[in-house]
Structure 1
Amino acid sequence: MAAATLRSVHRHNILLPFFKTCRLRDLFFFSSSVDPAPAVGVTISPDPNFMVEYLVNSCGFSPSEAAKFSKPLARLRSTEKPDAVVHFMRSQGFDGAGIRKVISRNPSHLCVNVEKNLAPKFQFLRDLGLSESDIADAILKNDFILRLDVHRSLVPRLEMWESILGSRELVLKHLKKTRWFFFSSVEKTLNPNLKFLRDECGIPEERVSVVLRSRPQLISQKPESLRALVARADELGMPRQSRMFVRTLNALHYVTQERFEAKFELMRSFGWSESEFSSAVRKAPTFIGMSLDMFRRKVDFFINVVGYTPSFIADKSSLLLFSLQKRVIPRFRVTEMLKLKGLWTGKYKFTSILLFTDTKFMEKFVLPHKENVPELLDILRVAGTWKGNYTLHLASEDEEGLS
């Protein structure tokens, strides 16, 4: 079903819901309900540097920042357009910091015509169902929206992403939270990347969509960059038919080749072979995204404290995904304390214990011994974990005792 949806992206007979309530000409020839900035007080100056003073006095930039951001505005000889833009942005819920952020990313926004260029973009976002604060969030994350044409760029990208992600809600979520979400061209980037993954790599579109719902940046990159990622995944021996292939691409997308090689060299110093490193990545690709320092600390703990061999960690690389401070260390200390007190049954392996939920871990290894081994609770308090669960359990037991 998802495949059919993706293939229908360019069917012009598919109309988005917001078109039912807003005609196209209303978007393209929108007349803002907000009055333009009043002409009174407009500054006209032959001095090209007068915009420095304007950015300081009207927008709150420092003199050095104003000098930097005024360069693209050198052609302006009047504050009429900047005044109108600033006035309009304020009327749409932007505070001073938000306006400065938009200007700093692209000072030329101050040169546009509010009614012809800015207002249609805001109307487009309102028609999607975004609130005033949502629109501000979306533009602060994706200010290039203010430079895109509604009909030629915004509508096709909305259609494309809604087809890929499967819902308007996910589109709006990423629009508000994901930087550069609407940046990539449908014709030059999104379609070629999807076609490449589907036709040349043989990856079902449904499988691609699952990853893109949380990480849409994977297909927003340049087609040549995506091809390079596929080549890197191939070098690791990851079968393209594997369900982990797209997840591996996503993990590699956030790790440069240099950082990737640095992790490999680190693991070689711990005794991993190249084949073991590749196997570890194939089984749990996201571990390559952690910092080198955290990577080193986790491997060191599992080898030198827990006692695992490098080969065992390579085979169970998902161990590296657990939080060292909040899960691995406190749970290991709890098991060691139970062994010290002669209360350890040896029924569970440590790898299995790491998989338990917080509540299940408390019920099996902590609460049964809280009276005789109160140190267990101290271990968890120091780690800062399960405080709420612990309180909940004690409260329920006290109530039972009172009854």
Structure 2
Amino acid sequence: MFGFVSKNIVQFVNRRVVIEIQLCFFQNPCLKSISTTPKGKETSKATDFTVSYLVNSCGLSSDSALSVSKWFHLKTTENPDFVLLFFKKQGFTDTQIAKMISFRPDLLKFNPDKILKPKLDFLRDVGFSTPDLTFLLSKNPCILASSLDNLIVPAYGFLKNILGTDEVIILTAKRAPWLLHNDLHKMIGPKIRALRDHGVPDSSISAMIKQQPRCFIIAKPDRFTVALTKVKEMDFKPSSSFFYLALHAILSTSESNWEEKFELYRSFGWSEDDFLSAFKKQPRIMALSKDKMRKMMDFFSREPGLGLSVVSHCPNLLLLSLEKTIIPRWSVICVLMSHGILNKDVNFYTICCSKGENFLEKYVIKYQEKVTQVLEAYQGKTVIGG
């Protein structure tokens, strides 16, 4: 019914794990070097030897080692020992090493000096500290299995042109390590051109990559363009941060899930115009779970002093915690209004956006001697509204 989201947009949420696996193994020639499973009588010996080494030397659990041994086998410990020693000298903890090997056991067959060290040297040269490196590579060891000259260096150069500084690249790479082991010219380049064609300035593109890097991987260029067109049709300004928040919301929600969420909002009385008005003010309302949407909308619809018009006007309220922020503060406001201390036209959104200590000082501590119920209301001991 709500037809501005294309049926072709990738169903990102359910495919997140699949995407990560595809990214890790995409264009990775190193996989060809992994030994095939031995056949016949050698299988049992090779499996036992591999499992024993993975558990006793690499720190894998028995279940993880058995799973790995179904497709990966070791014939000797000589090179694996060198690899483990190399990682320890580079500052990796035992836990991080186990994590890397469980995901990429083929690293044990790499030459530490010729294959692994040049990659760490490059990353250190551009500014990665040892904690940065160990965090990044234990999170995504596929970087170590990727070509330095063909993938890592070109990817870093691509990011440098877009993000500008090494510091920003490091922060972004730690958030999305896959950026450093893929052909970004092919993967992201067309989408950046599409953004520019739609009038999005380079500063906004840089912000998108820093804050929402997944927007650039979850859809093919043509689907990305469809989403861009829909965002422009909703009159989001290309230079606004809401533009890429809306783009991310559309790309990260499947069509069926989008329709279900839209219908949920409609079930509380919102028209399509009401929804569009709220979405344009805060696109992240579509990133909420349906359970939270339902609880929030139900609360506001039942409270006579609030109403859904408050949410439509200030959709940021939906992003707050119902139990920790909305209910305690509304309870306090209701107590103060019942004693004539506050007017009924109080701006509840402004009150909810104030810092916790400021709210406590201004509305609870200030009046707790005069109105004893105010502290009980804040602590959830007094039921208000309904």
Whether the TM-score (by the shorter chain) exceeds 0.5 is: yes
Q: Could you say what the CA RMSD is over the residues aligned between the two structures, in angstroms?
A: 2.7
**Whole-Å Cα distance in 1 between the matches of residues 334 and 51 of structure 2?**
66
Instruction: Give 1:64's aligned amino acid.
Output: D
Report the counterpart of residue 58 of structure 2 in structure 1: 59
Q: Deviations over 1:188-223 (max 9, x none)?
A: 112211111102x22122222233332233224443
1:112 aligns with 2:110: yes
- Tell which deviates more after alignment, 303-312 or 85-94: 303-312
Q: 2:212 aligns with which of 189, 199, 215?
A: 215
Q: Deviations over 1:160-199 (max 9, x none)?
A: 2233233221211233343434244222112211111102
Q: Is the 8 A contact 1:184 1:220 kept in 2?
A: no
Q: 1:206 aligns with which of 203, 207, 210?
A: 203
Report the counterpart of residue 244 of structure 2 in structure 1: 246
TM-score norm. by structure 2 comes to 0.78
Q: Is the 8 A contact 2:219 2:251 kept in 1?
A: no
Q: Is the 8 A contact 1:73 1:111 kept in 2?
A: no
Instruction: Give 1:297's aligned amino acid.
Output: K
Q: Relative contact order, CA 8 A, sep 6+: which one is greater?
A: 2
**Whole-Å Cα distance in 1 between the matches of residues 181 and 230 of structure 2?**
25
Secondary structure of the residue that 2:301 maps to in structure 1? helix
Report the counterpart of residue 178 of structure 2 in structure 1: 180
Secondary structure of the residue that 1:342 maps to in structure 2? coil
CA shift, 1:139, in A, is: 0.5
Measured at CA, do residues 315 and 339 of structure 1 come closer, stay the same or move farther in structure 2, by a change above 3 Å? closer
Report the counterpart of residue 272 of structure 2 in structure 1: 274
Alignment of 1:222-233 (within 5 A): 222-224=219-221, 225-231=223-229, 233=231
Report the counterpart of residue 30 of structure 2 in structure 1: none
Q: 2:317 aligns with which of 311, 316, 319?
A: 319
Unaligned stretches of 5+ residues in structure 2: 1-41, 382-386
Secondary structure of the residue that 1:335 maps to in structure 2? helix
Secondary structure of the residue that 2:323 maps to in structure 1? helix
Q: Is the 8 A contact 1:161 1:171 kept in 2?
A: yes
Instruction: Give 1:376's aligned amino acid.
Output: V
**Whole-Å Cα distance in 2 between the matches of residues 308 and 342 of structure 1?**
17
Secondary structure of the residue that 2:117 maps to in structure 1? helix
Paired residues, what number? Answer: 336
Q: Is the 8 A contact 2:335 2:377 kept in 1?
A: no
- Tell which deviates more after alignment, 164-173 or 361-370: 361-370
Q: Deviations over 1:115-164 (max 9, x none)?
A: 11111111122223333222110102232110222233222222222332
Q: Is the 8 A contact 1:52 1:63 kept in 2?
A: yes
Report the counterpart of residue 10 of structure 1 in structure 2: none
Secondary structure of the residue that 2:328 maps to in structure 1? helix
- Tell which deviates more after alignment, 288-297 or 77-86: 77-86
Q: 1:137 aligns with which of 125, 135, 138?
A: 135
Report the counterpart of residue 27 of structure 1 in structure 2: none
Alignment of 1:330-349 (within 5 A): 330-346=328-344, 348-349=346-347
Report the counterpart of residue 31 of structure 1 in structure 2: none
Secondary structure of the residue that 1:265 maps to in structure 2? helix
CA shift, 1:240, in A, is: 5.5
TM-score norm. by structure 1 comes to 0.75
Q: 2:94 aligns with which of 96, 113, 117?
A: 96
CA shift, 1:346, in A, is: 4.0
CA shift, 1:311, in A, is: 5.1
Report the counterpart of residue 301 of structure 1 in structure 2: 299
Report the counterpart of residue 35 of structure 2 in structure 1: none
Report the counterpart of residue 5 of structure 2 in structure 1: none
Report the counterpart of residue 371 of structure 2 in structure 1: 373
CA shift, 1:304, in A, is: 0.8
Report the counterpart of residue 146 of structure 1 in structure 2: 144
CA shift, 1:112, in A, is: 1.3
Q: Percent identity?
A: 34
Q: Computing the radius of gyration over CA atoms, which structure comes out larger, 1 or 2?
A: 1
Instruction: Give 1:345's aligned amino acid.
Output: N
Secondary structure of the residue that 2:199 maps to in structure 1? coil
Alignment of 1:65-104 (within 5 A): 65-74=64-73, 76-104=74-102
Measured at CA, do residues 185 and 240 of structure 1 come closer, stay the same or move farther in structure 2, by a change above 3 Å? farther
Q: Is the 8 A contact 2:236 2:280 kept in 1?
A: no
Unaligned stretches of 5+ residues in structure 1: 1-44, 384-403
Measured at CA, do residues 285 and 71 of structure 1 come closer, stay the same or move farther in structure 2, by a change above 3 Å? same
1:164 aligns with 2:133: no
Q: Deviations over 1:252-303 (max 9, x none)?
A: 3333333322211211221222332233212210121121111111111111
Instruction: Give 1:93's aligned amino acid.
Output: G
Q: 2:187 aligns with which of 180, 186, 189?
A: 189
Instruction: Give 2:54's aligned amino acid.
Output: L
